[in-house]
């Protein structure tokens, strides 16, 4: 085996490997057309390399003519794929120029199939042998070139013009990433193409005694394409990660804002009656200090205090009702399903925080009567709390266990146990108080809301330290679904 | 200039709180007038004197808007604001427009009464200053045109002879004018006269 054969064959083989890779990428996401186009560009290159090897080893002018005839097919595939790739990759450029490039190339190909012996040559009269890269290769000695030879040349010039125009347009848009792309296309496509045109035209026109060399520059271009595609793959993954992060951040901000608004509305609604009660009580005190207290006025004050108290109570009842209202959706829900669905929601966050989530269920676990969304909220809240509690632990020890079993004939007990440092007893006492929080950005609403949801279901929610070890267990009960409940 | 006794004008859309506050202030010895809205106050309360205790958050005309409307109408009663949920920008705005204080609706009674007393005190001072100015203006208004001319020269420290030459009148006439001026203004010396003139030129 000689150097030329080796280089051409190894180049083709490695390009084919990339084709398999990016072909798979395209299959996984069909919208990413650039991957498919890359595959076609490689097919073009491999074909070109094969035909050129054939030419270089041609034994007669007739054989050379036959190879020259087939040369146009991989060339057309390769150039069309490249120009469409540039279109997809840069997202700019003039459409009419694009179509002119493609149509002239197709025209050359069709004309080639109608012409004997090939588009480029009317007749190859003799061949010669020269030493190229240390190997004896066949080159054209004398041939009659067809007068139509300007058409493929024009096609290449149009291709260069298209890329230059598209790259310049993108460059002027100014974004850093876009400029980098423009530069890659400008250099990675135009320079090899110009090289290929210069080399092959000088061979065809008999200016230099060289084999027809299109494959090396095609190889360079396909490598540039492969590198850019891999960069896009990396960028794409980072973009997805950022999107996930943004979504969870948005959700968190949304929760806080909603709770903040609720708290502000609550504060205003409660401040009126509480303020009135305070002022009335003060007025009563002043009246009582007088030598002859005005009993009628005092009675009116007491009545008003009572009324304002029930008014403040009504605000709280209204809030409770708001939380309870949506629990009308009580159905028979399999606990396993509920837990697994919620774990799926928490999965991304668990991965990010390096928490291992486990669940275990008793073998005969009856379904519970619950509002799926609300209990899922409670579970999610307990899971996130558990993860927060373990933030200070080293990652291998961050384990969150969700367990469920029937507590008695009528209830099911669900436990969310973390492996965190646990909490102090005074925190246990206060953790269900509204607005009590140990987190820097917490609202202190998660547990009180969770408890009211569980209680609205007829269950209980409480915390206890893990048996014989570190961490905290949050437990809640839910009533077993009555048989016949749909 | 009204002769009404200074009162605490309570403006709050919440009837319960308004009644309770009015009751407490009455019991504490204040004259209290209540209004259910800013509009109500602007319709019938602006001729009074004393101070305004207003809820910051009210429908239609809120506390700050009411304060600004009063300023535009030339009403100088000091404001004390009450609020359920104080925010810094409103507090700054209120204090910039001359509010005496900015208190929570459930502020301690002493803080509230202290703010109201301070507001009433400020109103009293402002009113006594205004009434002295008005009195002075009335006194100066009694002077004739020629007496004003003479007075202007006297307070500049010029001698009778110079004044007489300037105004082309006899020196004795100048003396007569001066006697008349001091009589009308009720002062005894040139020093006192100068003080009075300066005081009357203060912004009223």
The residues with which A159 forms a beta bridge, in sequence order, are none
The residues with which A358 forms a beta bridge, in sequence order, are A401
Q: Are B143 and B183 in contact (CB under 8 A)?
A: no
B171-192 per-residue burial string, b: 16 or more CB within 10 A, e: under 16: eeebeebbebbbeebebeeeee
A283 contacts on B by Cβ (under 8 Å): 20, 23-24, 26-27
B57 contacts on A by Cβ (under 8 Å): 268
Is A283 in contact with B109 (Cβ distance < 8 A)? no
Q: Is the dihedral of CA A324, A325, A326, A330 positive or negative?
A: positive
Pairs of residues, one from chain A and one from chain B, whose beta carbons lie less than 8 Å apart: 66
Q: What is the mean pLDDT of residues B166-175?
A: 87
Q: What is the mean pLDDT of residues B140-156?
A: 85
> What chain A residue is nearest to B16 in terms of C-alpha separation?
A276
Is A272 in contact with B105 (Cβ distance < 8 A)? yes
What pLDDT shows up at residue B204?
A: 39
Q: How confident is the model at residue B2 (pLDDT cuts 50, 70, 90)?
A: very low
The residue assigned the tokens 């003139």 is B197
What pLDDT shows up at residue A343?
A: 83
What pLDDT shows up at residue A247?
A: 59
Q: When comparing pLDDT for B2 and A24, which is higher?
A: A24
Q: When comparing pLDDT for B181 and A260, which is higher?
A: B181
- What is the DSSP secondary-structure string of A335-380? HHHHHHHHHHHHHHHHHHHT-EEEEEE-SS---EEE-HHHHHHHHH
What pLDDT shows up at residue A486?
A: 45
In what helix (H) or strand (E) does residue B50 lie, and over which residues does it extend? strand B50-55
This model's pTM is above 0.90: no
Per run of 10 residues, the mean pLDDT along chain A (length 486 residues) is 78 85 84 86 90 89 89 92 88 88 92 86 86 84 85 89 88 78 84 86 82 85 86 74 62 58 72 91 92 90 92 81 59 87 78 86 88 82 88 84 90 92 80 76 76 86 82 92 64
CA A468 distance to own-chain centroid: 42
Q: Cα distance from B89 to chain A (closest Cα, Å)?
A: 16
Question: What share of chain B in percent tops pLDDT 90?
Answer: 25
In 3D space, the residue among B46, B65, B58, B61 whose CA is nearest the CA of residue B82 turns out to be B58
Q: Is the dihedral of CA A224, A230, A233, A238 positive or negative?
A: negative
Q: When comparing pLDDT for B204 and B38, which is higher?
A: B38
Q: Are B7 and B33 in contact (CB under 8 A)?
A: yes
A311 contacts on B by Cβ (under 8 Å): 16
Is the pLDDT assigned to residue B164 strictly greater than 50? yes
What pLDDT shows up at residue A324?
A: 56
Most confident of A205-209, A436-440, B29-33, B145-149: B29-33
Is the pLDDT assigned to residue B46 strictly greater than 90? no
The residues with which A130 forms a beta bridge, in sequence order, are A137
Indicate the average pLDDT of chain B.
85
ipTM of predicted assembly, 2 dp: 0.72
What pLDDT shows up at residue A248?
A: 61
What pLDDT shows up at residue A485?
A: 47
């Amino acid at each position: 085996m000689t150097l030329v054969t080796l280089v051409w064959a190894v180049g083709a083989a490695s390009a084919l490997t990339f084709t398999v890779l990016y072909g798979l990428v395209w299959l996984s996401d069909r919208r990413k057309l650039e991957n498919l186009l890359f595959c076609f560009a490689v097919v073009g290159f491999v074909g070109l390399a094969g035909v050129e090897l054939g030419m270089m080893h041609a034994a007669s002018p007739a054989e050379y003519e036959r190879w020259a005839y087939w040369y146009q097919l991989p060339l057309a595939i390769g150039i069309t794929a490249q120009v469409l790739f540039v279109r997809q990759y840069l997202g700019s450029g003039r459409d009419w120029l694009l179509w002119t490039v493609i149509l002239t190339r197709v025209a050359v190909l069709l004309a080639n199939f109608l012409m004997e012996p090939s588009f480029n040559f009317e007749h190859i009269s003799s061949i010669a042998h020269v030493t190229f890269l240390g190997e004896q290769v066949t080159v054209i000695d004398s041939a009659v070139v067809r007068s139509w030879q300007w058409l493929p040349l024009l096609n290449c010039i149009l291709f260069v013009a298209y890329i230059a125009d598209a790259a310049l347009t993108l460059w002027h848009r100014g974004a850093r990433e876009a400029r980098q792309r423009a530069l890659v296309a400008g250099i990675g496509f135009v320079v090899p193409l110009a090289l290929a045109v210069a080399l092959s035209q000088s061979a065809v026109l008999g200016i230099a005694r060289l084999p027809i060399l299109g494959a090396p520059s095609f190889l360079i271009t396909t490598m540039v394409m492969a590198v850019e595609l891999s960069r896009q793959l990396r960028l794409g993954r980072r973009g997805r990660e950022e999107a996930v992060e943004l979504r969870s951040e948005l959700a968190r901000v949304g929760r806080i804002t909603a709770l903040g608004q609720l708290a502000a509305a609550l504060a205003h609604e409660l401040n009126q009656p509480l303020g009135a009660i305070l002022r009335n009580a003060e007025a009563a005190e002043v009246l009582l200090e007088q030598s002859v207290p005005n009993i009628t006025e005092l009675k009116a004050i007491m009545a008003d205090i009572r009324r304002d108290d029930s008014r403040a109570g009504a605000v709280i009842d209204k809030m409770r009702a708001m939380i309870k209202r949506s629990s009308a959706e009580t159905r028979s829900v399999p606990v396993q399903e509920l837990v697994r669905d919620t774990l799926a929601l928490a999965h991304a966050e668990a991965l990010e925080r390096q928490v291992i989530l486990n669940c275990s269920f008793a073998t005969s676990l009856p379904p519970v009567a619950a509002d799926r969304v609300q209990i899922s909220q409670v579970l999610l809240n307990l899971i996130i709390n558990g993860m927060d509690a373990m933030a200070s632990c080293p990652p291998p020890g961050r384990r969150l266990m969700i367990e469920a079993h029937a507590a008695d004939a009528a209830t099911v007990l669900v436990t969310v146990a973390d492996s965190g440092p646990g909490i102090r007893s005074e925190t246990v006492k206060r953790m269900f108080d509204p607005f009590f929080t140990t987190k820097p950005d917490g609202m202190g609403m998660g547990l009180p809301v969770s408890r009211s949801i569980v209680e609205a279901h007829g269950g209980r929610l409480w915390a206890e330290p893990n048996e014989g070890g570190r961490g905290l267990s949050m437990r809640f009960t839910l009533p077993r679904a009555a048989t016949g409940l749909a | 200039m009204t002769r009404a006794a200074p009162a605490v004008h309570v403006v709050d859309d919440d009837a319960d709180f308004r009644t309770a506050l009015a009751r407490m202030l009455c019991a504490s010895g204040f004259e209290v007038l209540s209004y259910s809205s800013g509009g109500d106050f602007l319709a019938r309360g602006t001729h009074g004197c004393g101070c305004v205790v207003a809820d910051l958050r009210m429908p239609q005309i809120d506390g700050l808007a009411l304060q600004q409307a009063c300023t535009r109408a030339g009403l100088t009663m000091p404001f004390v604001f009450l609020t359920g949920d104080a925010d810094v920008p409103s507090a700054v705005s209120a204090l910039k427009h001359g509010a005496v204080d900015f208190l929570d609706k459930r502020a301690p009674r002493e803080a509230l009464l202290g703010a109201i007393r301070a507001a009433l005190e400020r109103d009293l001072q402002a009113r006594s200053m205004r009434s002295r100015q008005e009195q002075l203006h009335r006194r100066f208004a009694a002077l004739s045109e020629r007496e004003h001319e003479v007075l202007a020269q006297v307070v500049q420290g010029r001698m009778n002879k110079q004044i007489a030459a300037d105004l082309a009148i006899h020196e004795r006439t100048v003396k007569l004018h001066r006697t008349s001026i001091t009589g009308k203004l009720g002062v005894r010396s040139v020093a006192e006269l100068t003080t009075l003139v300066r005081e009357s030129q203060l912004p009223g």
